[in-house]
């Protein structure tokens, strides 16, 4: 069988979507299996055309995504910086220069070498409390000897 005949009618389009709260669906049906949800959370990437997709070592497919691609679920404060625990089970070090606030005050940062955005959930943001300070210029986060003041932006998801 020729490859073109095998692939005829196939597409990378799916009905898989994640809402702004992080809940997954296939069309109207919720996807709730914990390992599937964790896998999907970790597989979010951008396709070459800029659309979001799920991508693993075997294949990829387009998805619809409301809200940020990742969530910061927790933080670990260490002498060398802040380690982020991401939805999907990954970890990475925070780049303080990518911190920003949404219009609602939620904290965001860039991850995966600046490719994608993660939103701090409430418990992760609370984990930064010991780094917060205030001076004559307002509130700041003390990181690496610097006072970082995340700018407010109307479009925190880049």
9-51 residue pLDDT tens:
456 899 999 999 999 999 999 999 999 999 999 999 999 999 9
Asked if 74 and 46 sit in the same domain, the reply is: no
| Segments forming the whole domain that contains residue 23 | 3-65
Instruction: In whole angstroms, give the CA distance from residue 6 to residue 156.
Output: 42
Query: Three-state SS for 109?
Result: strand
* Residue 85 sits in the same domain as residue 136: yes
Tokens 């979001």 label which residue? 52
Residues 47 and 78 in one domain: no
Q: What residues pair up with 139 in beta bridges, in sequence order?
A: 134
C-alpha–C-alpha distance, residues 4 and 14, integer Å: 20
Determine the pLDDT at residue 24. 98
CA 109 remoteness from chain centre: 8
How many domains does the chain contain in total?
Answer: 2
Closest to 120 in 3D by CA, of 82, 154, 78: 82
Residues 101 and 43 reside in one and the same domain? no
């Amino acid at each position: 069988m020729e490859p073109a005949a095998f692939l005829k009618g196939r597409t990378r389009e799916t009905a898989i979507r994640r809402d702004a709260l992080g809940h997954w669906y296939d069309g109207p049906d919720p996807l709730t299996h914990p390992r599937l949800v964790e896998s999907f959370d970790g597989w979010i990437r951008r396709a070459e055309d800029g659309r979001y997709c799920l991508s693993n070592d075997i294949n990829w497919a387009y998805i619809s995504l409301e809200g940020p691609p990742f969530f910061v679920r927790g933080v670990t404060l260490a002498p060398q910086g802040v380690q982020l625990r991401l939805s999907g089970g990954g970890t990475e070090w925070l780049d303080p220069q990518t911190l920003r606030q949404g219009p609602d005050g939620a904290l965001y940062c860039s991850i995966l070498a600046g490719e994608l955005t993660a939103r701090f959930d409430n418990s992760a943001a609370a984990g930064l409390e010991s780094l917060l300070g205030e001076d004559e210029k307002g509130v700041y986060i003390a990181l690496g000897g610097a006072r970082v003041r995340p700018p407010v932006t109307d479009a925190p998801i880049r």
